[in-house]
Structure 1
Amino acid sequence: MNWGSDVIDWSRVSELHEEVGDDALGEVLELFSSEVAEGLARLAQANSATAIAAEFHFLKGAALNLGLDEVAQICAKGEENARNGVMTEAQRLAVTEQFPASCQELSSQWRDRIGAN
């Protein structure tokens, strides 16, 4: 799957940059990446609808905070499916692939994309 720059809401990243500052944004992104990795691991291990929905909900919040709208949509669908007793494997696979890729793109491009020093 090819994810372009439209995967990231750069205006949200710019807002986050304004909130925390130039030096802190890199640290914030590292922290989020670590939390996302832990959330993805928990999602992979989750075996009840409640646990799956909770992990998708957590990951959705992280994605929205980072401006990863497409990832957030996948998480929202996974959360909804889990709550409704519908299979979530497609969303699990998609978020497991796309979230780390989006975080990597965000980490490597944010300075250039939002004009930070």
Structure 2
Amino acid sequence: MIDWSRVNSLRMEIGDDSFDEVVEIFLEEVESVVSRLRSDPNPAKFEEDLHFLKGSAWNLGFLDFGALCQEGERLAAHGNAAKVNMGAVIDCYAESRVAFVAGLRKRDGRITAA
């Protein structure tokens, strides 16, 4: 679900303080898009939204979430936005977020994002 080697590489590349900031920004921005997709889905924007989520997900090691976003983006790009299983995308994000935050806390106890 989470590519911890990617997470560790990113942390080493940018340092602990910057990593904490990146995580905070990532969670805020992704949560904003996911919240909108949950409450007011607009199939005309699925390709754009899923592209953004995919890039964000893979940058921070959210493998399964990124893969679902990629599949949904592909469907939307080919005129099949109605076939995107947005419920699965949203659920996967929620599960990935829980695993990610728990994993960070377990690893170093420094991240307090909830």
TM-score by length of 2: 0.80
Q: Which moved more, 1:32-41 or 1:56-65?
A: 32-41
2:65 to 71, 87, 93: 71
Deviates more, 1:63-72 or 1:80-89: 80-89
**% identical equivalent positions:** 37
Partner of 2:93: 99
Give the root-mean-square deviation of aligned CA atoms.
2.2
What residue number does 2:42 align with? 47
1:16 aligns with 2:10: yes
Distance 1:88 1:62, change over 3 A: farther
Aligned to 2:20: 26
Q: Which runs of 4+ in 1 moved over 6 A?
A: none
Deviations 1:15-41 (A, max 9, x none): 111122123323321211110111113
Q: 1:23 to 1:111 in 2, by over 3 A?
A: farther
Q: Flag the structure with more relative contact order, 1 or 2, with Cα contacts below 8 A and sequence separation at least 6.
A: 1
Which residues of 2 match residues 80-99 of structure 1 at below 5 A?
A: 80-86=74-80, 87-90=82-85, 92-99=86-93
The answer to whether 1:36 aligns with 2:30 is: yes
Which runs of no fewer than 5 residues in structure 2 stay unpaired? none
Q: Which residue of 2 aligns with 1:3?
A: none
Structure 1 residue 104: deviation in Å?
2.5
Structure 1: unaligned runs, 5 residues or longer: 1-6
Number of residue pairs aligned between Structure 1 and Structure 2? 108
CA positional deviation for 1:112: 4.2
